[in-house]
Amino acid sequence: MNPTRTQVSIQKSEVEGSRGLIATKHPEASAIGLDTLQAGGNAVDAAVAAAFAVGVAEPWSSGIGGGGYAVVAGPGGADVVAFPMQSPALATPDRYPLDGRGALGAFLWPGVLDDANLIGWSSMSIPGAVAGLALLHERHGRMPWRELVEPAVELARRGSRLTWFDLLQMGRHAAAGQRRAELGRVYYADGGPPRADVGEQPLLVQPDLADSLDAIAREGPDALYRGDLAKAIVDDCVANGGALRRDDLAQYRAWAMEPLETAYRDATVVTPGPGCAGPTTIGTLNIFEQAYDGAGGQADADRLHAYIWASRLAQVDRFVHMGDPAFADAPWAELVSKAHAEAKAALIDTQHAPASEGPGDPWAYMASDRQIERLKGDSSTTHLCTADGDGTFVSLTNTLGGAWGAEIVPRGTGICWNDGMWWFDPRPGRPNSLRPRSFGLNNMTPAIVTRGGRPLLAVGASGGRRITNCVSQIISHVVDHEMGAQAAIDAPRIDASTPWVTADARLGEAVHDDLRARGWDVQAPPYPEQSAFASPVTILAGPDGSLRGGVDTFHSAEARAW
């Protein structure tokens, strides 16, 4: 008789509505987004209000000191607003000398002396979030700007309720409060992370941030980029040896980007274009479509083998070619073309993983040491999706870079600042090498899938380099296997964004062993928790016109429907 053992099952319910839906990484932000819809706002208004709010509720992950991308799709077609972080004019390579360490962190860059590109004032880059949310509102919003920012002001002033996940994250990253006096004063006032008794949700009160947001509500983006806030931020940075200056902030502009689109099976996938991981996600799906006909089950070993190959081949393109499109002379159109995908798919060996240094080995182009030294947590990004009753979907990602960003809160502002200099390869002569006033290659991939000209799915995730595998697999779960909004998130996934393959334990030992026999270094964490596979949220249009929302089970994320 075969033995049995205890099984763990954790699930979240799918929510459903018809007039609007919002899915974010925090209940407070989801509540504010839904309130915005019910007050007469559209999906874009809800996304803007929720983005400001989630930056208050999870300040280690995102906020007005960060940057990102938003995809909008609806009756008027698709649009992308880009607002990533930009390097300051004084951020020259000599400020970031190499120290001899290799294969560090999520990007596998070599180490920089004193981690100057990762923490501290020299890691600070120009944030795009406020400019981007303002441009998104200008192009598609309905409600007055001030009414969209004021709920975040009030949330910061009265305090947001810390969920179990918030307490976990503040505990995990409490060392930042010891390293940085102002961050410690604002967020770790008792000398350590906040604690809660059973049934208690402590409040995170941020009066300085409330004042900064209030200025943005009243004055618009100029408050951050040209006003008194800009002076306070730069004065603090200059006093501590950082590179950021007032003219860096004043010159920043978010922009409308041409959407990147590809057909996948009977649907169309829309992402941002060059600069983020949109082209990598599109490339993965294009190659996978050529390599696998979708006939097998979601956990079929042949399917997973083809997907890993597709992901690795797309990552080769990413490592070899991609960076700021203003400086990286990459064949952008070819990299996302069906012809390129067909040629790439022809390299796939259906029974074997690529040999070391082979066509599907992206790390051949990076560092010889494949053991990644982890420097900071990846809990530094947020994603949200919104939809309204008029058929408009929004998918929006915003990030600080690493956990707590640069670990810098400019004195008196309450703003957690990004560490966007970490996005650049500190080695010269590469497509993504560090340059002044440049946009570093990043992992964000907000996406919307349409079918028959109507939005079908909004999806995105936090999770660093794991984001693109997460997003592309959820798209496959919906398009290839007709899964629902929550089921597509909860289904077992793999991640091939590291030199090894992380496989959900629920796929089973037989599948793991099959993949190992083909040559993949498969590792299986005992539980399917979010840190191994990225942390998504989704909105899916039902065949009856309903809206259905799903969120990461292993996060305090929440969807609310109207």
Yes or no: say if 248 and 237 are a contact pair by the CB < 8 Å rule. no
Alpha-carbon gap, residue 273 to 240, rounded angstroms: 36
Q: How far is CA 492 from CA 201, 253, 361, 488, 503, in A?
A: 31, 40, 24, 9, 8
DSSP string, 29-75: HHHHHHHHHHTT--HHHHHHHHHHHHHHHSTTT-STT-EEEEEEEET
Element (H, E) at 531: helix 530-533
- Residue among 261, 366, 273, 271 at smallest CA distance from 316: 366
| 3-state secondary structure (DSSP) of residue 505 | helix
Alpha-carbon gap, residue 423 to 334, rounded angstroms: 24
Task: For residue 189, give every residue at least 6 positions away whose Cβ sits within 8 Å of its Cβ, in sequence order, or none.
Answer: none
Alpha-carbon gap, residue 147 to 38, rounded angstroms: 13
Only one residue has tokens 């941030």, namely 209
**DSSP assignment, residue 376?**
S
Q: Which of 381, 382, 397, 502 is catalytic?
A: 381
Listed in sequence order, the DSSP H helices in 367-521 are 467-481, 485-490, 509-517
Alpha-carbon gap, residue 268 to 289, rounded angstroms: 13
| 3-state secondary structure (DSSP) of residue 427 | coil
- Residue among 382, 509, 407, 420 at smallest CA distance from 183: 407
| 3-state secondary structure (DSSP) of residue 451 | strand
| 3-state secondary structure (DSSP) of residue 11 | coil
CB atoms within 10 A of CB 250: 12
Q: How far is CA 366 from CA 315, 332, 362, in A?
A: 11, 21, 7
Element (H, E) at 23: strand 20-24
Helices 145-158, 43-57: axis angle to 10 degrees equals 20
DSSP string, 195-250: ---TT---EE--HHHHHHHHHHHHHTTHHHHTSHHHHHHHHHHHHTT----HHHHH
* 284 catalytic residue (yes or no): no
- Residue among 374, 386, 402, 395 at smallest CA distance from 62: 402
Alpha-carbon gap, residue 63 to 198, rounded angstroms: 29
- Residue among 303, 171, 194, 183 at smallest CA distance from 240: 183
- Supply the residues annotated as catalytic: 381
